[in-house]
Amino acid sequence: MFDIAFVEMLVVMLVALLVIGPEKLPKVARTVGHFWGSVQRYVSKVKTDISNDVAFAEARKFHGDISEDVATLGNSVKQAELTVAQRVLHAQHREPEVISEPLAEPSTSTKRD
């Protein structure tokens, strides 16, 4: 997270030892450690919350896309049903076709030799 080299950390520890003193340094280090742990937990929780919110937003968008697709498919099915129903009604109310030519009778041909 921070770009601190080992030498820089050693200098900070040496200054802390001189400023705080050897008697209070363990207590201060423990307090800083607890504080650092709570900061890490807080950052982890915020990252998890953001990740969950992004996933929830994606799921909501996906649900909306699926709902649109289902609605479109439903409209297509209804349109097809209406078309089929119209054709069936048209076929039921249509006059039967009258054949204007009589059926041809089989010819009986006899060969004459």
31 — pLDDT class (breaks 50, 70, 90): very high
Model confidence at 104: pLDDT above 70? no
Q: Supply the pLDDT for residue 78.
A: 94
Model confidence at 106: pLDDT above 60? no
Asked whether the beta carbons of 76 and 69 are under 8 A apart, the reply is no
Distances (CA, A) of 47 to 3, 36, 42, 54, 58: 21, 16, 9, 11, 17
What predicted TM-score, i.e. pTM, was given to this entire model?
Answer: 0.51
